[in-house]
Amino acid sequence: MLDKTSSDRPERRSALVAHELLRLNIDIAALSEVRFPDKGNLNEHGAGYTLYWSGRQSEQRRISGVGIMIKDSLASKLETLPTGHSDRIMSMRLPLDKNQHLTLFSVYAPTLQAEPVEKDSFYSELGRLLTNTHAGDKVLILGDFNARVGRDSDAWNGILGRHGLGNCNDNGRLLLGFCAEHQLTVTNTVFQQKDRLKTTWMHPRSKHWHLLDYILVRKQDLRDVLHTRVMPSAECSTDHRLVRCKLNLQFKPKPKRKGKPLKKINLSNFSTEENVVKFQADLEKNLNALPDLDNPTPENLWDNLKSSILKSSEVTLGYTKRLHRDTDLKDPISQQHNWWEDLARITQQCADIGDYRRFYEALKTVYGPTHQIQSPLRSSDGHQLLTEKHDILSRWAEHFNTLFSIDRSVQDAALHRIPHLPLIEELDDPPTLEETITAIGLLKSHKTAGIDGIPPEI
């Protein structure tokens, strides 16, 4: 990501990479040679991605560095932040459906010219992290291994597929031995395709294309891999091509809010004048039957009025009944067919006449309501992701206590420059009956009832 000052490549390549990922609809990307100092994150708001990286210390020469770029919609589902283990290995654990998890590693292996000690250290650390991974987790290792594994699928049965490329070198034998030890498969060699959809890097002198960037999975998880191929159209101002892997995995959905749902008053019964008169008479009777209060505070008065309205609504209007669309004791198939036909007819009719409120109500009937939960927050030091409700509320309290506890000094001259407006003493008086009627008349209909359960129509 960072180049020398003499480089002609564009600055802020993280933004360029993020827009290319968005164009190709890629959820998570592992990046090598990031070369950012220390550890941190960067949000690319324009494309909707967040980059997490792990590199060397700022005073060291930055020749490596790894990163993970993830969509913001998925970043909000993370239970823990990505962890940087070194300038060559980074990991992240993603929650999946059915109480499963995916542990993803972003790696950058030493080059062929590196010292053997450095190579052994890299694979030893990666092996240790892989061994400490939860046994039930799915594992995905992505990155630039600087190795050529060749095409000898007979010698490396179960590790290499039948569609490898080129010859194997020393780094390739190290990688294959690592895969054999940890029961991993190189997905790049599994699928039959053209060579240009396999090779990822061109040698600067010989101009020959080689396969150096790999995606590894556990052998038992190979059935989750739909396809692995190179995307030649991705332009990220780098000498390596982007490798895309499609997986058949479902992320853990957001939990639904628990609690007893509010009953909805059947406002369709308000369409007849007879029900309106009956509701008004019953409400007047309930209000007259209320006992006199010793302490008539606004809260007590409102509680009495609310209970009277809800009681009259239940008696005269009733509540809506939510029936399952497939429920029919006589002919369930015919009932279901008729239900879908009626809903399609109503949806199309609302779209034709421009009744968007009923149109979206029909769509919500098909897809169901959306459930929003509280998004996770980071701790004050930024290293921990808070997901529990109590921790999130405590973090917000800490934030606002810090924000408003700062001592600020205001000069008297600045206070005198503020224009003074005349006092409106009428605001101290309680609202009149006419003002109350006007405020109620300005309420919009067809809106969801509040916490009291009383819709604005009533």
How does the average pLDDT of the chain come out, rounded? 86
How would you write the pLDDT of the chain (458 residues) with one tens digit per residue? Answer: 544 444 554 455 788 899 999 999 999 999 999 988 888 888 888 889 999 999 988 888 878 899 999 999 888 888 888 999 999 999 999 999 888 999 999 999 999 999 999 999 999 999 999 999 998 999 999 999 999 999 999 999 999 999 999 999 999 999 999 999 999 999 999 999 999 999 999 999 999 999 999 999 999 999 999 999 999 988 887 889 999 999 999 888 766 655 666 678 887 777 778 888 888 888 888 888 888 877 778 888 888 888 888 888 888 888 877 655 444 445 667 778 888 888 888 888 888 888 888 888 888 887 766 555 567 788 888 778 887 788 888 888 888 888 888 777 788 888 888 888 888 888 888 888 888 888 888 888 777 787 788 888 87
Q: pTM to 2 decimals?
A: 0.63
* Through-space distance between the first and last CA atoms of the chain, rounded to whole angstroms: 61
User: Does residue 340 contact residue 362 with C-beta atoms inside 8 Å?
Assistant: no
Closest CA to 27 of 90, 78, 79, 85: 78
Question: Cβ neighbours of residue 418 under 8 Å, at least 6 residues apart?
Answer: none
* Residue 289: per-residue pLDDT: 86
Rounded Cα distance between 169 and 283, Å, is: 88
User: Does residue 265 contact residue 455 with C-beta atoms inside 8 Å?
Assistant: yes
Rounded Cα distance between 221 and 218, Å, is: 5
Instruction: Classify each residue of 174-187 as buried b or exposed e, where b means 16 or more C-beta atoms within 10 Å of its C-beta.
Output: bbbebbeebebbbb
Query: Per residue, what are the HEC states of 101-166?
Result: EEEEEEEECCCCCCCHHHHHHHHHHHHHHHHCCCCCCEEEEEEECCCCEECCCCCCECCECCCCEE
Structure tokens of 341? Answer: 């036909």
* Residue 388: per-residue pLDDT: 79
Rounded Cα distance between 197 and 353, Å, is: 50
User: Does residue 211 contact residue 198 with C-beta atoms inside 8 Å?
Assistant: yes
Instruction: Work out the number of other CB atoms within 10 angstroms of the CB of residue 99.
Output: 8
* Residue 383: per-residue pLDDT: 78
pLDDT in tens, 337-384: 888 888 888 888 888 888 888 888 888 887 766 555 567 788 888 778
Rounded Cα distance between 70 and 28, Å, is: 4
* Residue 175: per-residue pLDDT: 96
User: Does residue 19 contact residue 47 with C-beta atoms inside 8 Å?
Assistant: yes
Any bridge partners for residue 227, and if so which?
246
* Residue 322: per-residue pLDDT: 63
Q: How many residues does the chain have?
A: 458
Tell me the pairing of strands 101-108 and 138-144. Answer: parallel
Residue 37: phi and psi, rounded to 5, are: -75, 150
What CA dihedral angle connects 243, 246, 252 and 253, to 10 degrees? 110
Any bridge partners for residue 49, and if so which?
44, 71
Q: Which amino acid is at 89?
A: I
Rounded Cα distance between 372 and 283, Å, is: 36
Number of helices followed by number of strands (H, E) in the chain: 11, 18
Residue 372: phi and psi, rounded to 5, are: -100, 135
Rounded Cα distance between 113 and 119, Å, is: 10
Cα separation values, 164 from 144, 173, 203, 243, Å? 17, 14, 18, 15
CA angle 443, 449, 451 (to 5 degrees): 120
Structure tokens of 401? Answer: 């206590």
Residue 315: phi and psi, rounded to 5, are: -75, -45
